[in-house]
């Protein structure tokens, strides 16, 4: 049976490829007495969400409305809580009725937005490397994809001046995301200001994926809500997955220009009935009463980052210190390149020989080739164990 061209164009995603490798390892492990898997390949954390949030979810689970379909009107208490959080967090007043939209995770929003904004064949610009749903959403909408390549030698700063006016006029949408996964750079508000200015001038929708807004070690996270112009051409995506460690619960939201929020809502009305009310109760509790939770989470990641940086320096692997939490973005070591490894084969061999799973950078786009992403999602002792295993493998190979 043939499937659509867009499925072929999507290809196998980086996390699917990781998953296959990890499953293969698990099978080998049970047959060959290999060490347990230490999975540092996914931004899915072991850190607990606030107890109060879990209690709020638990308390509302038994109510019959929690198991009912949830239409947009019923999401109002959630949207109002978002408006309160935004006002405290950014000093910006948003209209909870027309400028806020509940999402089933921010990924759902960035993946569906192109369907709401673009006609088939329209052009969208993504950063390269970037989070896979940015490219994937454009493919699902049959869009033409342009890439703005981020370079290590430019500190991963998007170089807007490399785009001509003619190119900018062709664009219908730009998808940005700082703090940036996978390069682990917080980025700068001026970068986003520039993108927003471009958006207004060239009539391009600026989408900003911002799930790490409260997880910066240094500097403040940029936000579209700080840019004049977002109410005309902007939409920003937030998440409860990272700051409140609620990834599996699939809770996110968008804030943006009314026509964009309305169009995305209409796409979603075909696709889903929103997240369960019980989970929304948890999100309301997080936003209103546990808004400082991400600060504690950040402290834990800071300790893990320091553990990891120390181990890497002992190994002789020069890795830039990340300015945001959760990830290390690690260049393929010189010896590995010389021995013929690329990021994909390096990650595969490391997993096979040590049980430590990393993500190859090229999975986030060609701009991530020869880099590897390590997620700090295990406790200190397991991280140390991972680096110990890496060390023996490193010395055998280098």
Question: Contact residues for ligand PLP (CB under 6 A)?
Answer: 43, 105-107, 131, 177, 181, 209, 211, 239, 241, 247, 252
Using an 8 Å Cβ cutoff, are 328 and 308 in contact?
yes
- The nearest distance, CB 206 to ligand PLP, in angstroms, is 15
Nearer of residues 102 and 386 to ligand PLP, judged by Cβ: 102
The CB-nearest residue to ligand PLP is 105
What is d(CA 169, CA 340) in angstroms, rounded to the nearest whole number?
A: 42
Residue 82 near residue 280 (C-beta atoms within 8 A):
no
Between 25 and 131, name the residue whose CB sits nearer to ligand PLP.
131
Q: Which two tokens stand for residue 284?
A: 């309301």
Q: 264-267, long-range: CB within 8 Å, 24+ apart, which pairs?
A: 264/101, 264/109, 264/112, 264/113, 264/116, 264/235, 265/72, 265/101, 266/116, 267/112, 267/115, 267/116
Q: How far is the CB of 14 from ligand PLP (least distance, A)?
A: 11
User: Cβ distance 360 to 347 under 8 Å?
Assistant: yes
Run of H or E including 237 = strand 234-239
Min CB(97)–ligand PLP separation in Å: 23
In this complex, which beta carbon is closest to ligand PLP, that of residue 229 or of residue 243?
Answer: 243
Pick the closer one to ligand PLP by CB: 99 or 209. Answer: 209
Q: How far is the CB of 176 from ligand PLP (least distance, A)?
A: 10
- Count Cα neighbours of 241 within 13 Å in the Cβ-side half-sphere: 26
C-alpha 336/C-alpha 343 separation (Å) is 9
State the minimum distance, in angstroms, from the CB of residue 35 to ligand PLP: 26
C-beta closer to ligand PLP: residue 212 or 317: 212
Q: Whose Cβ is closer to ligand PLP: residue 101's or residue 336's?
A: 101
Cβ–Cβ under 8 Å, residues 261 and 235 = yes
C-beta of 134 vs 172, nearer to ligand PLP = 134
CB of 238 to ligand PLP, least distance (A): 8
Q: What is the DSSP string of 190-220?
A: HHHHHHHHHHHHHT-EEEEE-TTTT-BSSSP
Closest approach of ligand PLP to the CB of residue 131, in Å: 4
Structure tokens at 303: 């300790």
């Amino acid at each position: 049976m043939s499937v659509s061209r867009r499925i072929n164009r999507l290809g196998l995603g980086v996390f699917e490829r990781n998953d296959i490798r990890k499953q293969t390892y698990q099978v080998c492990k049970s047959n060959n007495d290999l060490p347990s898997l230490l999975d540092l390949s996914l931004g899915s954390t072991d850190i607990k969400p606030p107890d109060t949030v879990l209690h709020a979810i638990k308390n509302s689970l038994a109510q019959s409305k929690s198991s009912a379909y949830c239409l947009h009107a019923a999401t109002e208490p959630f949207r109002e809580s978002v408006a309160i959080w935004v006002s405290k967090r950014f000093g910006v007043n948003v209209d909870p009725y027309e400028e806020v939209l509940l999402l089933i995770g921010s990924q759902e929003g960035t993946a569906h937005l192109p369907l709401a904004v673009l006609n088939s064949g329209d052009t969208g610009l993504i950063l390269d490397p970037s989070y896979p749903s940015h490219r994937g959403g454009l493919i699902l909408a049959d869009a033409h994809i342009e890439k703005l390549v981020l370079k290590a030698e430019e500190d991963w700063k998007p170089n807007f001046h490399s785009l001509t006016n003619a190119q900018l006029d062709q664009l219908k949408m730009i998808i940005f995301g700082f703090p940036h996964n996978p390069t682990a750079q917080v980025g700068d508000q001026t970068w986003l200001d520039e993108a927003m200015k471009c958006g207004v001038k060239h009539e391009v929708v600026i989408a900003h994926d911002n799930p790490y807004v409260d997880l910066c070690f240094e500097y403040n996270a940029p936000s579209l809500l700080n840019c004049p112009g977002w109410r005309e051409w902007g939409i920003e995506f937030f998440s409860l997955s990272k700051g409140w460690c609620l990834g599996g619960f699939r809770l996110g939201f968008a804030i943006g220009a009314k026509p964009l929020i309305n169009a995305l809502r209409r796409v979603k009305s075909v696709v889903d009935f929103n997240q369960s009310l019980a989970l929304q109760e948890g999100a309301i509790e997080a936003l209103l009463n546990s808004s400082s939770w991400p600060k504690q989470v950040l402290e834990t990641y800071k300790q893990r980052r320091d553990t990891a940086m120390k181990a890497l320096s002992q190994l002789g692997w020069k890795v830039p210190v990340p300015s945001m939490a959760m990830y290390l973005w690690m260049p393929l070591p010189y010896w590995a390149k010389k021995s013929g490894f690329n990021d994909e084969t390096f990650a595969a061999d490391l997993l096979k020989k040590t049980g430590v799973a990393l993500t190859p950078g090229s999975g986030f786009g060609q701009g991530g080739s020869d880099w590897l992403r390590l997620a700090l999602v295990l406790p200190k002792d397991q991280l140390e164990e991972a680096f110990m295993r890496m060390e023996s493998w490193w010395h055998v190979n280098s």
